[in-house]
Structure 1
Amino acid sequence: MHAAATLAALGCRVTSAEVTKALIALWRRQRNSSDWAGPQLDAFAGRDSGWLADAGRRVAAAVPVRRPVDWAFSGHTNGELYRLARGLLWMAGAVPETDDGFVLEWALTKWRRKPERTLTDITHPRRTTAEESVAKAFRADPYTAEFLPRVFDITGFGTFLSHPWHWRAELIALSETGELPRAPLIDRCVDGLLRGGRVIETRGFQKLLDEVEPTEDELAERAHDWAGLAGHAEAPSAGRAVESLRRTPGDSADLLPAVAIAFGYDDTTVQEQAWKLTARHLGTAGETVRTQLIEALPRLAPDLRERAAAALGAQPTATDSEPPPVVVSSPRPTAAAPGSASEAVQEIAALLAVRRPTALDRERAVDGLIRAAYRDRAALAEHLAPVVHRQGWIPGGLNELLRAVLGEVTVEDIPADPGDMSGRADHKRCIPCLYDYLLQARWHEAARRLLTEPVPFLLATPGWSTGALDAAVLVERLTEYTRLGLRADHTDLDQALLRTWLPEPPERDRLATAAAGPGTPDGTRLAHWLNTGGVHAGHHPGARTALPVGRDGFTVAFRHLDQKLDATWHFSTGFRPAVLPELVALVPVFREYLADQLTNPYGYPVFLNEYLADLPLLVEADGPAGPRLNMVFASAIAGTDRADRPAVVDALLQASARGDLDEQWCGEQLGRWTTQRDDMMDVAPVLTEAARAGAYRLVWAACTRCSPPCWPCRPAPANSAASCCWPPTAPPTSAPPAKSPA
């Protein structure tokens, strides 16, 4: 009955645009239904071909491009929308547009899918377990000549060609019988290599190109493409491009300047290939080309540079290989709070529109809301109501605060505690759960305060990009509270203290005196915090770094921080993963505590995949750098994938420049881990990047301390009194001493 009503409603639609909108909405509601597309087409029987063609093209343009990891999934819901679009186009006798989503689904129907040749195959899919070859499916489809080359341009196709379910053999079979000409196939592979991208993406195009086996003539026709690849592609592709140029007949002197770009490759094998090709054609090179080659010599490795300079009749050019000095980064000031009610509402709207807002965006938006409510709550509510009422869901804590601004809740409706964490052993140790819990506790407190005794601003709003807050700013804020006769919210002051960056003793003493001057409990508490130096917890090898939240008047909510938290407690569940900026924003002046939460208490290496992209933020945070922070650095060196490598190298360079990195200890720690594992840890990628950036001390220390377990001792020469070179020094007996903040 429901299906009949749905078809009747579709049949009543007048314009193709209306039908397209209705079909897409219906598809989104029926995503779990297979063979959904066929019955919908019955509603459009009798429509003229122009109407059907326009509707079909509109639906085809709406087919999303699925992620590369989903390409092998035969039951993907995008396929239903594709079949609906193609059915409409079949009915109209029209040729579809080459939209990426539609073309991709068209191609994927050829791989272990129900055969589709006519409209009947779409409206009445055949229930058969027989599968035909990809090549046969492409041969039978009328759109193959137009669509198949287009698939090569879709991001992810190269990755698809790299995997075990690739179509390389089928594509070559099509080229051998003429359905897919060789020239376009080779050109598409070369285009994919020239576009570059991830290594796994270019690797697929390179594999297909190698299996096509271009002839000498086909190579010669694309000599300029090989020259471009030699100068810009990844090392494996660049090496093959140089080899292709070596096989091309005729005079290639005009390509030498492009090939010379490969002189700058870090891979010396590619440099060697490029120089051999260059030397082969030097006799036909004119003076201008020789000058360009001489200018490219400094990019070659030293021994190869000398040989090339001699062949060119030039003097070897000394190069300054010393990289530029590392510029030590520092936290950046945060933007000022919104100045009007409309701006505050815009910040809240932006906050609600983002699926995962940053910690600082949350703080700034809520502080702006509190400020606007204090100035004119009625005006704020007028601007805020439309934004709140069109939201289907608002996070806990923030929802109560927004409803309080609108007057839709009372103090009794807002719980004093967002939830008792003491009885939730599975949540109170989870970093993202505890972060959300503390936010809810603060926002609930702010909502109750707004309804009873509004405050002009929040105390804990950060002033720096790490989440830190200047002690002078906090003293000024509390002084203003005192002037207005206001007390501080308990959790707000708790968070403010844990964010307070402490100056040196003379300035700190002055601020403590100013805070204690009015004689209020809040000022006295801040003065005690300043006088005790923020109570940065001491640490020694084997001890857990604790926070001073178990005393000094902290609420029960913040006392949950004083335990060993777990970043992967809810791994592989529906809970969101932890994010390092959120954890840093809670305690931005306690780096050793933060590092302690990320590392294993027993000194084993840990996987920091969720945190590596933001590791430089941890280096910028304040507080002593001790053994736990160096343990983070060692774990990052030991296990970092390609995507996070730049961030890790940046963090290591920053830590070294600040004096926070103990290179010797990190190298020895890597050596101990290697001994325990009985195999070499893959530290080469990070250390290679670090060496290129100039972190020679770190790289040397890591190599000399980490390599001994895997490098056999070489006996000293007979005429030498030197003993075995390994180990260079005795292994450390304890963790490195803590260092002062940079």
Structure 2
Amino acid sequence: MTLTWEALQRRAKKADTAGVIALLVRASEEERVALAKDVEAGVRAEATQWWRHDLNPMPGYALAVIGCMPTAARAAALLLRTSMQTWTGIGPERFLELARFRRLPWLGELGTRLATRLPTRDADEDLWPMIAALLREGRAEPPVRENVARAWLANLLTRPHHWDRRLPPLSMRLRDDPHRDTLLPALFEFDGLAADLAAGSWDDTAKEWTATPRLPAVLAHLIGEGTLERKTYLDLTVDRLLRGGKPHDLRPFVLLHDLLEPTLDELSSHALDYARLLPDAPGTVAALAQKALRTVDDAGRLELETLLDTSGPTLVRKEKTLVKSQLTWLDKVSRRHPDRAGEVLETVAAAFGHPALDVQDRALTLIGKQTGKLDADTVARLADASAVLAGDLPRRAAELFGTMAEAPAEVPELPPAAPPAELPAPIATPGELAEELVALCHEETAIAWERVLAGLVSLYATDGPAALATALRPVLERYSSDFEEHSWNHSAALTHLGVAIRSALGTAKHGSQWQRLVAAVRRAWQDGRRGGEDSPLVATPDGVLGLRVAEVASQLTSTMVPMVVATPTHVTGSLDPAVLLERLRRAEAEGWQPWPVDFEQALLRLPREPDPAVVEQAATLTSPAGRQFAAWLAGGGLPDPISRRWEQRPLNDYYYSGAGVARRVVTILGPARDGGLRLERQLLTTTPGPEPRGWPDDFVLCGDVLAMTLPHHREAIASWVLPELAALADQDQRRGAEVLPLLAACSGPVGPALAYGIAYTLGARHPESRVAAVDAFLTLAARPEPFAAAVGAALGDVCADGMVKLSRLTPALAEAHLAGASLAVWEVLAAALPALLPTAQRGLPDLLELSTQVAGAVHARTEIAGLAEVAARTGSTRLVKEAKRLHSVLHP
């Protein structure tokens, strides 16, 4: 019987691996090698379609490969094909059985080639046993690479495979592993393997998965019994800690170091390494280094210079426990070396720069106990160093060092906010419009939307449909899923834009989608309402953009309007009245009227206080739009809507127990007048229900579109987005805070919606949300409009019952203080503390500490209701200590 690929393939597809082996064994070596090309062609042709069969043919194909290929290179090329990844189901024994029968000399090379091509990140748990078997059979060592070490480690730690269920314990497997001495050191040398080492593993004893890294205990055991060299692995551990990384990634190396319990001699030999770790390493590693160095120092084997050099930067670390321990250690050393006490205490003075007042206090107290033993020059240097002390400590330092208290420094102020940037130049050519359309498909931004709308209308008027068709048709075809209507996007602005473009090109007018848009625009204009069941328009403020795009689609080819008039002049969405005046003058001169929705959006973007000269010139306009523009400016524009605080609580505790929102503060918004523009009522009306919504996310992708709709009435937009901002804190949502800096850059009074929005976001769960809140806070602080007291009152409200955590809030306010917004931060704290002091919320001492620092910086003398009562309490709790400290600063 002649050996053929068809015969091998038939048995492989039936998962008849015994039949495949039988065919290969019966054939001669010449027949097997002669079939190699057919096997290559067959595997390449059929391998990608194995899922069409009930049985997996890949193990049979792999046997054909090892049974026929003449070289390791050709065998590896086939086995490494993506579609062949399930070939390892054959298992090592049957694979090697056929290889041994052929007496192949290149099995070690095949194992090396397969190992080199192992996945970089996700280890293939099934492939490594095959590779290990090939390396062992060929007496070859694995290449020392990160991907190889990762696969070896994953196979070592994973649950036993289906073909080898009774594996010995991990310690025995590692002791007997032939590649241990080659690959085990690589676990310390490749930093990318840290996360793999820190991950959980299969516990052989408990027969379950454990989250605790198990390898450190196994390594310590093998080192203890002498299988692994102790010095080598202690050195590797310390070296790995020195290279640093995330605390979680370094955890297995910290565990191993602790399990090894280094002797005094070993600690002494690495003293300089520990000295490098103490100032900069993650907290757990720094604590390890501190403990090691103290042991060496207690034995008299640590150079004082080493201690002093490493202590300075250590004393400003954020971990107060570590810093206080360092201070205690230095105090002990100063008494042990009285001749060098001055040097030691000058090092202690580095803690004056620590952000925590209790650390500064402790350092000052330690120095104060020995001031009388120091020479005058040292005392003078310590007095100079005390200039950075905060709170009530500068006064104590002046008394201690015999200096006069310095005159209060000027209160830091933020520079005035820069004016908003201007909108980029308009789109000038159809090709540029096509490029901007592609960018819009990848990321919808308000600026891009404004430029695309303005460019489409103006280029249709100047260049005509033919030029637009040449540039835009390829974009419509490439991004058809964005521009064509589907069940999931019938109200999307991009879908409406597709209709508008096809209308401009003459391919969509009078189609069903175009007709629905025309009808929706007509209804919205007639009754001032958008949205509703099956409507292509939405009722929320971001829906104004969709309405404007729909208006372009319905009007572009039927009216001779050469431009949109609502295009803003600044990135905030603000429109310069002088620019709108010129646009309306052009309309009068050319005999056309702006589209109605476009014109109303333009009016809503005008600033509150236009240039009087523009108001005077607007009165000369004669067209209907011109007269309305003049009346709008003369009447003061859009009146501020009425915004009222509204508290929500779940009516059904069981239903909302999963959401975890016991109380949420939002706002009710309503227009200040009847009538007005057709867009007004929906834009200025929010009617929240009695219960908080779980995980609201209506506006997380369109914050800039919202802000641009009403750039001078940010309180209205804040009312719409407030539930999402609240959910950043009370439901730990991640997205939505991006709108806050945009609203801060806009204008208008700060009402309860924006105040509560900032309060919630300052206490958000995720750091990036708090960064956005601090950015918004700094922008508002650089402007003249008052806002801080309202934010403080809101913080006191939402933090009093723990709905917003003070532990998140305090660092955010501290950042604003350090950035120069100290006056505004103090207003916030002064307004929030009266509501918080009676609650004794967790984190209140930290907030009081920050209050002391800020009060000292701004020379505050504010009376805080309830502070004196807390400060007068007996006891030594930190709350009482910080209250006393703040009270002493406010009442020197």
- The answer to whether TM tops 0.5 is yes
Q: Distance in 1 between matches of 2:634 and 2:56?
A: 72
Answer yes or no: is the 8 Å Cα contact 1:516–1:527 preserved in 2.
Answer: yes
1:319 aligned onto 2:387: yes
Provide, for residues 235-285 of structure 1, a one-character-per-residue CA deviation record: whole Å limited to 9, x for no partner.
554444333322235233453323311232344443333445556667699
Corresponding position of 1:341: 430
Match of 1:611 among 719, 732, 736: 736
State the SS of the aligned residue for 1:544: strand
**Aligned with 1:554 (options 671, 678, 687):** 678
SS of 1:462's equivalent in the other structure is coil
Segments of structure 1 that go 5 or more residues without pairing to the other structure are 67-77, 116-124, 713-721, 729-742
Aligned partners of 2:201 and 2:212 also within 8 Å: no
CA deviation profile, 1:184-213 (whole Å, cap 9, x unmatched): 58756874675455x666667656655565
Contact kept, 8 Å, 1:613 with 1:647, in 2: the verdict is yes
Q: Give a deviation string over 1:29-55, Cα, whole Å, max 9, x none.
A: 98xx99998688578554542245467
Match of 1:386 in 2: 474
Query: Does structure 1 residue 539 correspond to structure 2 residue 662?
Result: no
Which deviates more from structure 2 when the two are superposed, residues 200-209 or residues 456-465?
Answer: 200-209
Q: Cα distance 1:296–1:430, how it changes in 2: closer, same or farther (>3 A)?
A: farther
Whether the 8 Å contact between 2:198 and 2:248 is mirrored in structure 1 is yes
| Structure 2 match to 1:725 | 868
Residue from 563, 567, 583 that aligns with 1:461: 567
Structure 1 equivalent of residue 279 of structure 2:
231
Matching of residue 423 in structure 1 with residue 532 in structure 2: yes
Contact 1:401 1:447 in 2 (8 A): yes
Matches within 5 A, 1:630-641: 630-641=755-766
Aligned equivalents of 1:276 and 1:267: distance in 2? 15
2:496 to 386, 397, 401: 397
Structure 2 unaligned residues grouped into runs of 5+: 1-5, 14-35, 83-114, 203-208, 355-359, 391-408, 483-493, 521-529, 646-666, 843-864, 872-892
Question: Which amino acid in the other structure matches residue 725 of structure 1?
Answer: A
Distance 1:598 1:383, change over 3 A: closer
Q: Could you say if the C-alpha distance between residues 203 and 83 of structure 1 is closer, same or farther in structure 2, counting changes exceeding 3 Å?
A: closer
1:384 to 1:423, Cα distance in 2 relative to 1, 3 A = closer
Partner of 1:171: 216
Distance 2:784 2:342 in 1: 49
CA–CA separation in structure 2 for the residues paired with 1:515 and 1:132: 90
Distance 1:606 1:427 in 2: 33
Encode CA deviations 1:358-414: one digit per residue, 9 max, x unaligned.
332333344344444443243443333434433352242233344445554335355
Q: Distance in 1 between matches of 2:352 and 2:228?
A: 45
Q: Is the 8 A contact 2:267 2:296 kept in 1?
A: yes
Distance 1:132 1:526 in 2: 86
Q: Residues 112 and 240 from structure 1, CA distance in 2 versus in 1: closer, same or farther, beyond 3 angstroms?
A: closer
Farther off after superposition, 654-663 or 181-190: 181-190
Compute the displacement of 1:624 (Å). Answer: 0.9
Matched, 1:376 2:463: yes
Q: Distance in 1 between matches of 2:269 and 2:346?
A: 25
The AA in structure 2 aligned to 1:361 is A
Counterparts in 2 of 1:505-520, with a 5 A limit?
507=611, 509-515=612-618, 517-520=620-623
Which residue of structure 2 lines up, in the alignment, with residue 651 of structure 1? 776
**Residues of 1 paired with 2:715 and 2:602: CA distance?**
19
Output the TM-score relative to the length of structure 2: 0.61
Which letter does structure 1 place at the counterpart of 2:413?
P
1:667-714 CA distances to partner (integer Å, 9 max, x unpaired)? 4444444555699854444344445554344334433431222289xx
CA deviation map 1:506-551 (0-9, x unaligned): x1x5434544533223333333333333323343644722358984
Letter in 2 for 1:698: V
| Aligned residue type for 2:315 | F
Is the aligned partner of 1:440 residue 2:499? no
Question: Which residue pairs with 1:299 in the alignment?
Answer: 353
Q: Which amino acid aligns with 1:383?
A: A
Provide the aligned C-alpha RMSD in A.
Answer: 5.5
CA distance in 2, matches of 1:379, 1:208: 70
The answer for the alignment partner of 1:120 in structure 2 is: none
TM-superposed CA distance for 1:591, in Å, is 1.6
CA–CA distance in structure 1, aligned partners of residues 129 and 636 of structure 2: 70
> In structure 2, how many angstroms separate the alpha carbons of the residues matched to 1:524 and 1:470?
17
Alignment of 1:706 with 2:823, yes or no, is no
Q: Does the CA-based 8 Å contact 1:242-1:277 persist in structure 2?
A: no
CA–CA distance in structure 1, aligned partners of residues 639 and 55 of structure 2? 60
Aligned amino acid, residue 744 of structure 2: V
Q: Which residue of 2 aligns with 1:251?
A: 302
Map Cα deviations across residues 101-133 of structure 1 (whole Å, 9 max, x no partner).
886676555555562xxxxxxxxx6597x8987
Are residues 555 and 453 of structure 1, via their aligned partners in 2, closer, same or farther at CA, if it must alter by over 3 Å? same
Identity over aligned pairs, percent:
21
Query: What letter corresponds to residue 534 of structure 1 in structure 2?
Result: G
Q: Tell me what 1:739 maps to.
A: none
Q: Give the structure-1-normalised TM-score.
A: 0.72
- Whether the 8 Å CA contact 1:56–1:85 is kept in 2: the answer is no
Residue matched to 1:153: 192
Structure 2 Cα separation of the partners of residues 671 and 228 of structure 1? 43
- Over 3 Å counting, the alpha-carbon distance change for 1:576 and 1:544 in structure 2 is closer
Letter in 2 for 1:153: G
Q: Distance in 2 between matches of 1:151 and 1:63?
A: 16
Aligned partners of 1:161 and 1:167 also within 8 Å: yes
Specify the alignment match of 1:731 in structure 2. none
The equivalent of 1:72 in structure 2 is none
3-state SS, counterpart of residue 612 of structure 1: coil
> Which has the larger displacement, 513-522 or 278-287?
278-287
Corresponding residue SS for 1:533: coil
CA distance in 2, matches of 1:90, 1:288: 66
Compared CA separation, residues 662 and 138, structure 1 to 2 (3 A): farther
| Residues 463, 469 of structure 1: 8 Å contact kept | yes
**SS, match of residue 265 in structure 1:** coil
Change in Cα spacing, 1:290 to 1:84, as seen in structure 2 (3 Å) is same
In the TM superposition, what is the alpha-carbon distance from 1:625 to its structure 2 partner?
Answer: 0.9
For residue 168 of structure 1, report the CA deviation from its aligned partner: 1.7
**Any conservation in 1 of the 2:693–2:723 contact (CA below 8 Å)?**
no
Partner of 1:362: 449
Give 1:49's aligned amino acid: A
Residues 350 and 639 (structure 1 numbering): CA distance in 2 closer, same or farther, change over 3 Å?
A: closer
Give CA deviations for 1:448-502 in whole Å, capped at 9, x if unaligned: 4444446544333333333333333333333333333333233333333333333
The secondary structure found in structure 2 opposite 1:469 is coil
Cα distance, 1:581–1:548 mapped onto 2, change above 3 Å: farther
Query: What displacement does 1:564 show?
Result: 3.7
Q: How many aligned positions are there?
A: 673
One-letter amino acid of the structure 2 residue matched with residue 246 of structure 1: R
Which residue in 2 is equivalent to 1:598? 721
Change (3 A) 1:380 1:62: farther
Matches for 1:26-65 after TM superposition, within 5 Å:
46-47=68-69, 48-53=71-76
* CA distance in 1: counterparts of 2:745 and 2:500, whole angstroms: 32
Query: For 2:767, which of 635, 642, 646 is the aligned residue?
Result: 642
Deviation at 1:640, TM superposition (A): 4.0
Distance 1:424 1:468 in 2: 33
Partner of 2:594: 488
Matched, 1:265 2:309: no
The answer to whether 1:622 aligns with 2:747 is yes
**How far apart in 1 are the matches of 2:64 and 2:762?**
61
Q: Deviations over 1:72-113 (max 9, x none)?
A: xxxxxx677x85799799889898888878866765555555
Q: Counterpart of 1:718?
A: none
